[in-house]
Every structure is written in structure tokens, then in C-alpha cells.
Chain A
Amino acid sequence: MSGATHAASHDDAHGHDSHHEPGFFRKYVWSHDHKMIGRQFLLTTLFMLFVGGALALIVRWQLAYPDTRIPVLGSILEAMYGEGKGVAGGDVYNMAFTMHASVMIFLVVIPMLIGAFGNFCIPLMIGARDMAFPFLNALSYWLMWPALVIFSASFVIGGGPETAPGAGWTSYPPLSYLGGQGQTLWCLGVILVGASSVMGAVNYITTIVTMRAPGMRMFRMPLTVWAMFITSVLSLLATPVLSSAMLMLTMDRLWGSSFFIPAGLSQGLDVTTNPFAFASGGGNVVLYQHLFWFYSHPAVYIMILPAMGIVSDILATFSRKPIFGYRPMVYSISGIAGLGFIVWGHHMFQSGMNPALGMTFMLSTMMIALPSAIKTFNWLATLWRGTIQFTVPMCFALAFVSMFVIGGLSGIFMAATPVDAHIHDTYFIVAHIHYVLFGGSLMGAFAGIYYWFPKMFGRHMNYKLGYVHFWLTLVSFNMTFFLMHVVGLHGMHRRTQNPFTKYVYIDGMLPLNKAMTHGAILLGCTQLLLLGNVLWSIFKGRKAEQNPWNANTLEWSAAPTPTPHGNFGPSLPTVYRGPYEYSSPEVEEDWLPQNRDLTATAGAK
């Protein structure tokens, strides 16, 4: 009901559009328009991708050429920390991998998939004129900026790498309790990003539930929208738990509140001068891990489900075939989300909690592989007997399927508790997470960028460059991360800046580490092609038609390019069918848009 009123008031406003064309700032910066906010999220996160990537290369360089000065990036480190810090010694190294993960997770993958594509696609795909709460939407973007500033400040606040956050993105106390001031800023940054996520989630859920166009039943929504919907529910329920954990950690650090600090640890402090010496302990270190993973495991699904949705849409569009098993797809998204809340303990098999509890988590973890398997089989069946068009977005979507299978299967090793005892905290885990979050989430995001760019910016990207970007990414990605399985099984543990000198059995893995680093450098440089392509195409790309892919969903079939404020002209589209009616026998062409009224066309003829 409220959706309808909202739409009506928009219609009125729309009629007067020509009278008040917004100024530059209103239009591009302080915009409440979901499309502009989506673009803002996309460009910001694309930039942050390079910050995160540079941090990863610091880590990789150290592992291939231990204790030598890092080319190029070393000068940045020296500018930040002073002479001699261009080498990733203990503190610089710990800072680098901590911030690499934090930036990639909190400032790249989550805001790119959910902030950029969620914002841009949801109203267009369900036939709404904007989000339910446009101001809240803008606020969720602008909360990213204080987080970004705070994260940046955490690098340099104490003047050296030793005060930067260096306890890993998991920031387990007591190590994080001991860290420098940067650690406090890190906690605050995570709280802000969390607030931003929750605002987005509330908005998406309300919009999807109340503002769908006439005829857009829940089971006629594209899978991208379904994925965003379920993801938002996950995000809404899980993020507050992370924020609480961060707040508790901050309070422990600043005021000695003893949530996570066990007895005995503050007794080294001098009572006469240090107020913290009165913190009596009694806190529980494992409690933090429970709280942290209660969010952070669902967070993995928050990062992969939207990509799964995007990939489903793209696979159907370019196979010219309905998605195979639409309802099983929806149910498996929901199944992943539901099970996602009861598997967090698999990060803690070796933490000292009761092994019997570990067995329970092992079973739920094994089971969560099932909906992922169902989705993979459905994707394959969607390709089966299709007419596959190898466009750039399709290539990335196919890479998603292929890489996600590897990431999913390696998860079974970890789910098996006795095997986890060996591979936990080794490079096997690093390989797994990157196959899921880069091979999965980022490949999906790249597919989404190439797919929706014509709608977002009214121009095509350069697809020749796109194919080069695709092949180089695929090859260098596997060169970097596949080898990590090998060194991980051989027992090379992670988060170590120079394990080669102390451990002879790891020393033999140095050549493999060099190969990985070369892959990583190629992978990082390759992404410059994407950035260049995006920036160039925004201004110089070939002008896009309304529906270049002949897609069925409303953003292509009903919304003009470039899309005006209010999205759909004077009246909202009416939806007559599901989103995947490709190659339908009802029409001659191989696509049948959701909003095409077949009875009306027949009448006109």
C-alpha cells in the first residue's frame, strides 16, 4: 500500500522535473537516487579494490623475496613509516594482511555486490521508482566515508607500523587487546561499515516486500533480487552481533571492561600508575570468537549469494534459456542462509571448545555444501541445450561457476574435522577463501559490471579489452591461488612473514611461493585494465541502446537508457510472467520480456 502511494507521489514530482533540474552536487554527490548511489558505491569500491590489492602484493612480495625491499610499494611504505620500512618486517607484514582482508571484505566485496548492484538493480528489476527510504540509502553510502577515513587513519595514527592494526581481520583478543591505537580505529571502522550494511538491508527488505510493480509476484522476481533479499535478511540479523563484539572489544581496550580478558593477564601492570591494572580479568577469549564468527560466517554468504544471483541472471540471458529449476534455486539460496547461521563453529574446531560440539558443527557444515551443489547442477543444466553466447559478462559468469566449484569442494576438506586439524590456519584455508571470494564473489561482480554497465552509464564498455581482462584474470588467478592448496597441505601456515628461516620443511616451498607471487602481480596489474576500461567507457564508450542483451528483466525491457529519475516514464510497468522466458514457443524471437502484454499485441495486429 505504502509502495503505491510512494509511486503516485513520484509520478507527480516527475511531471515537474524540467522545472528543477538538480545542480551538480545535488545530482552527483548528495543524490538520493538509487542509481546514482549505486554508481557511487561502484566507483568507490573499484578504487578500494586497488588499495586492497596493493596490500596483498606487499604480503606476496615478502613471501617470495623475504626481507628485501618491495619495489614501488616500498616507497609508499617508507613515506608512511620512514626509512627502512620498505621491507615487510613483522609489523608491516601483519598490518598488510590485516588491512588487505579488512579492506577487501568491508570496503570492496560487500559494498560492491550489495551497495552497488543491490542499489542499482533492485528498484529497476522489481519495477519501483526508487528505494523505500531514499535518504537512508544515501546515508548508508555516506557512512562508508567515515569508515574509509578511519581505516586510512589507522595505518598511520601512531606513526609506525607497530601501532597499525595487525591482529588479522579476525582480530582475536588478547592480541587485538594489546595492539596499538590503530586497532581501536579499526574496531570503530568496522562498526560504521556494519551500520551502513544494516541501513542498506532494512531498505532492501522494505523495498522488495512493499514496492514491487503490479504483477511482480515474489516468484516472478529475478534471482538477483531474490539473492539480495535473502542476503539483506542475513545481514540484518548477523551484523549487529559483529558490531556488539567490536564495541565490547573497544571497551576492553579503552576502559578495561574485561569482556574478553581472562584473569591473570593484567597482573603484569603496575597498579600505582596504570588504571588498567584494576581490570580483574574473568573475561572469555573464546566468547569473542563465537560472536565474531556468528557474523563472519554468514558474512561469507552475504558476499557470495548476491554474486550467485547475478550469475544466474547472466547465465540464463546468454544461454537464451530459462534458468533450470527456478524454485530449487530460490530454496537453495534460503537454505544456505538458514544453515549459514549454524555453521560458525567450524572456524573454531581447534579453539578448545568441546570436541563434541565440533562434531555437531561438522554435520551442519557438510550439509551446507548441499544447496551450493544444487545451485551448481542447476547452472550446468541451464547451459545444457542452450544457445550460449560468449559475451564478456557471460565469460565471467562461467568463470564464477568453474572457480566456485573448486572453492566449494575444498570446503569439504575443512568440514571434515580430523582433516581440519591439519589444514586449519594453513595456506589451504587461504586458497579456499580466495576461490570463494575472488573466484566467486569478484568474478560475479566483474560479470555484473560488464553486464549492467550499459544501463548504469548509458554506454558500452570496450569488449575486446574485456576479453583480455577475462583471460589474464582467469589464468593469473589460478596461478596465484591453486598452488596455495599445495603448500597448505604440506603444512605451510598462514600469517607468517618469513617462515622459511625457522622451518626447513617450509623452505622447500619458496619456489612455489615465488610462482604465486608472480601470478599475484600479474593478477593485480590485470585489474588496471578493468579500471581503465570503466573510466574510459563512462566518457567515450559506444552509446548503448535500451536493451543491448535482449534480456527479459524490467531494467532492460522497461527502463529507458539513460534511465531518468523515477526510472519508468509516466506509468509503472505491469509484469505478466517470470524473468526467464527465453526461447519461449509463444513468440518468434528468443526472448519474452516480463512486461510484454501478449494479448495487447495480438489485439493490435
Chain B
Amino acid sequence: MLKGHLDMIVLAALTNGPAHGYAIIQEIQRRSAGAFELPEGTVYPVLHRLEKNGLLSSRWTIAESGRKRRTYTLTRQGRQAFANHRAVWQRFVDAISGLFGEASGATVRPHR
């Protein structure tokens, strides 16, 4: 189920500012309170694809360790895409909440 929403999850993790892949994964785990335990490697192709689609930009930086590190930033198009994703998701959540709210008042009949 997560795979269909990976783009939105990665975009969301970058809304606080630029970050590198490892930090993005940590941020996803922190914000989801550990609910989204993604295989770490799946995030990198998503970052690459979002960059190619113009939603992210990236550049090499040098980490404290002296290693090269790729840092990603949301572009304006990326912020817009995230806002659209969030609006669609909110409508979905509202609709499901309404549906479940009605359902919780109904009596559940066992199958015979």
C-alpha cells in the first residue's frame, strides 16, 4: 500500500528543508512514529525520479565525515505537487471518516 504513496511521503519529508537520503528516511520514520518502515533502498530511485520530473533539485555537498553527500530540495513545482497530493488525501480521509462514522452507529449483523 505504501508504494502507491511513496512520492507524497518523500515530498512530505522534504517540506522542512533540504536533506540527504539517509536523513529523509530518518525523517519519514520519525514523523510516522516508525509506522513506515521502508526498505531503505527504495527511497533513492524515488528521489531520482522526482528530480527528473522536476519536483526536486539536488546537489553534492561535503559531509562532516568528508564524504560526498547528495542533498535534495523541493522545487516550486514539488511544493505545488505536494499541496495537491495533500488536498486529495485530505478529501479521501474526510470521506472515509464520514463513512466510518456512519458505519460505527449501525448494528453489525452476523452472517448466517
Question: Are A and B subunits of one complex?
Answer: no
Q: What residues of chain A have their CB less than 8 Å away from a CB belonging to chain B?
A: none
Q: What residues of chain B have their CB less than 8 Å away from a CB belonging to chain A?
A: none
